[in-house]
Structure 1
Amino acid sequence: MPRTADANGDAGGNGGATRAGRRRPTLRMVAELAGVSTATVSYVFSGRGGGESGSGVAEPTARRVLDAAEQLNYRPNRAARTMRTGRSDTVQLALHMLSDPWSLAVADAVNVEANRHGLTTLILADGDWHTALDRVESDVAYLDLVGDSPESRARLASLVDRGQRLVVFSETLDAEGYDVIRSDAIPGCELAMEHLLERHTVIGCLASEASFAGSTTGVTRYTPYLERLRAHGIEPDPALTETFADTQASAFTAAVALLSGERRPTAIYATTDFAAIAAINAAHMLGLRVPHDVAIMGVGNTPDAQLVAPSLTTVGPTDFYERQAEIIVGRALEQSPAEPSVHEFPWSLVPGGSTDLDAPPRGLQGSTA
């Protein structure tokens, strides 16, 4: 016989049953044990304002309800609560590459901020963020990779129309019903190249496949590599560019190939921090000293940049992850959403040991042949 939900949103009809045959605790059972009405239990778990407990119920009564719930191992039905309050107490993150230190830093910062306010963070593993968000309710959703195509704009608009709060990371989109985190990488990438060009003329590049392919149709993180070399009278050598897919293993393989070529660069510009970290590891494996045999520059200013030896010189916004997390969680907590806006995060150079040629040699010693 199909299972139903009772009037209080508890599955199982007449109390339900566990797999072991025991009745599943219901809101009504909690009310009976605590000696209160089901309405009082509902108020305690709804979190509605008023009263000493913040639920409109006196503190001693609320404590009896919570003690009864703990004794029965009762858990409120989240779906029913969402229908009653219009809130899910969840923040969803659609992150396209979970192994990237950038994505990990975003997830960590949002999770810390969400936990401070009693919210749960969910990460969408499905690359089709529109379908996933259309199926699962959340108080706010963050998207870190959204194209500027008419299709992407239409999908965003459809989510906004049904009431989904969104925070979108984009260097091109405007705040059309959703907040936009704008952190233009190109000026930062130009800073990175200028920093390397102060001492180097043979500069290699580790370029993500997306930035390498996209450089022929628009400006990507690979574009400053080409343009700044030419601005200094240096014609880019195709043999000094290696591409990588969105995995650390691919970046490491590309770095080994670049450092093992006939014309080894004295410096490497990587279009992501994780590729630059892979290059440091590849250099160590090959017996090269960083930065004395090869200087290495990253892009992104991720926390992992400070966890390698030598520390990674990189470019990126400062205090980005914590400030972005405050914006995302702040939107989830709002009762009446404020007007969406664009939040700008300018980039700057963050010096590290991986390009500091004045520092004493450290790390593995090896042949420079």
Structure 2
Amino acid sequence: MKMVAARAGVSVATVSFVLSGRPSGRVAASAETAERVRAIAEELGYRPNQAARAVRTGRSGLVLLSLTQLSDPWCQSVSQAVSAAASGHRLQPLILADGDWGDVLDGQPVDAAFLDAASADDLPRIRTLVDRGLQLIVFSDDLEPDGFDVIRSPQRPGCELAMAHLLASHSRIGCLTGTDPDRPGWHREHAYLDALQQAGIERRPDDLQRYTRDQVGVYEAALRMLDREDRPTAVFAASDFAAITAINVALRLGLSVPDDLAVVGVGNTEEGALMHPSLTSAGPTDFFASLAELIITVAGRPTDHRPRRHDFPWRVHLRESSPA
């Protein structure tokens, strides 16, 4: 920076201001000066030392997104929304694909972190990170804000709405859900079972298929459910990921969606909304853009920000796979 300043005939503070990309600050620079500084920096091959900048400013320019399954459209929607929002704030998302966020955050300085799944069992580790000054946003149906922001998007009422929608037209409804009781799909499975019981409908064992978390596992579960003559006429899938797979399997089997098979997912992802036939899905409205905005705000550490709970109620977004 001193070399750039000497060549440009300006102060080091001016060089710092121009190359930081800040829209305003205590040091101003004319457009002509800023252009000259950037040209000389490019000529000299200047590259900012991010580690040194982090030590000096206390900012890393990184936001961690801990996502449990990158192949899931929900996780992809989070990643895309945050990446788009971060680009205008000189922030870089760091994606952790179903790893141990505690271990990573112990050694990797970040300006903020989003955890897409956390429970009361995780609270001691979360408290340790918060006490160290880490800005955290946690997606949880159980935790309350305590030095960190909580995203609350109650899934049970939304799943009940999805089942009520299907039960209005169908008495044979299958369910695609995950195998892990620690995952959201487990609770969504109970919403399915309770809805059938309340409607007085006996569940057939083959109408509930559990899948492992990879794409092959979801595909095989959907195939087990649909590749038979006594298949259900509708499917409640515990995620848009599973619902999209069910539609693809149905089409491959020569079934018409929704005439032969109605499908409803969970998550209200962009991929589900844009596919053909478009996916009816239960989930919050404008969730991903709002989450991205919150993450960018928290990463900026505004003095007036107070961690709180952010509620996102669900509704059923009716589309082609199961219209009204």
Shorter-chain TM-score tier:
over 0.9
1:182 to 114, 127, 152: 152
Question: In terms of mean alpha carbon deviation, does 114-123 or 226-235 score higher?
Answer: 114-123
1:221 match: secondary structure: helix
Q: Indicate if the aligned counterparts of 2:18 and 2:29 stay in contact, CA closer than 8 A.
A: no
1:73 to 36, 45, 67: 45
Distance in 1 (alpha carbons) for counterparts of 2:22 and 2:81: 28
1:354 match: secondary structure: coil
The aligned counterpart of 1:122 is 94
1:217-366 superposed matches below 5 A: 220-261=187-228, 263-336=230-303, 338-356=305-323
Q: Indicate if the aligned counterparts of 2:17 and 2:25 stay in contact, CA closer than 8 A.
A: no
TM-score calculated relative to the size of structure 2: 0.92
The aligned counterpart of 1:202 is 172
Q: Indicate if the aligned counterparts of 1:142 and 1:167 stay in contact, CA closer than 8 A.
A: yes
1:263 positional shift: 2.6
Give the share of equivalent positions with the same residue, in percent.
48
2:25 to 25, 34, 54: 54
Q: Indicate if the aligned counterparts of 1:212 and 1:222 stay in contact, CA closer than 8 A.
A: no
1:62 positional shift: 4.3
**Which amino acid in the other structure matches residue 117 of structure 1?**
H
1:95 correspondence with 2:67: yes
1:43 positional shift: 5.0
Distance in 2 (alpha carbons) for counterparts of 1:37 and 1:346: 52
What is the RMSD of the two structures over their aligned residues, measured on CA atoms?
A: 2.2
Q: Indicate if the aligned counterparts of 2:14 and 2:29 stay in contact, CA closer than 8 A.
A: no
1:293 positional shift: 1.2
Structure 1 211/290 Cα, relative in aligned 2: closer, same or farther at 3 Å? farther
Distance in 2 (alpha carbons) for counterparts of 1:213 and 1:68: 53
What residue ranges of structure 2 are gaps of 5+ in the alignment? none
Structure 1 288/46 Cα, relative in aligned 2: closer, same or farther at 3 Å? closer
1:356 positional shift: 3.1
Q: Which has the higher helix share?
A: 2
1:30 correspondence with 2:23: no
Q: Which has the higher contact order (CA 8 A, sep 6+)?
A: 2
CA deviation vs aligned residue, 1:100-142 (integer Å, no higher than 9, x gap): 1001101111111111223222212361101111211121111
**Which amino acid in the other structure matches residue 125 of structure 1?**
A
Q: Indicate if the aligned counterparts of 1:331 and 1:337 stay in contact, CA closer than 8 A.
A: no
1:160 correspondence with 2:130: yes
CA deviation vs aligned residue, 1:275-329 (integer Å, no higher than 9, x gap): 0110111011111111111111111111111222221111100011111111111
1:68 match: secondary structure: helix
Q: Which structure would you say has the larger Rg?
A: 1
Q: Indicate if the aligned counterparts of 2:70 and 2:76 stay in contact, CA closer than 8 A.
A: yes
1:82 positional shift: 1.4
**Which amino acid in the other structure matches residue 147 of structure 1?**
S
2:266 match: secondary structure: coil
**Which amino acid in the other structure matches residue 230 of structure 1?**
Q
Question: In terms of mean alpha carbon deviation, does 337-346 or 204-213 score higher?
Answer: 204-213
Structure 1 227/118 Cα, relative in aligned 2: closer, same or farther at 3 Å? same
Q: Indicate if the aligned counterparts of 2:112 and 2:295 stay in contact, CA closer than 8 A.
A: yes
1:355 match: secondary structure: coil
1:337 positional shift: 5.4
1:55 positional shift: 5.6
CA deviation vs aligned residue, 1:16-64 (integer Å, no higher than 9, x gap): xxxxxxxxxxx34323322345455445445678xxx636143354443
1:338 positional shift: 1.8
Distance in 2 (alpha carbons) for counterparts of 1:48 and 1:265: 58
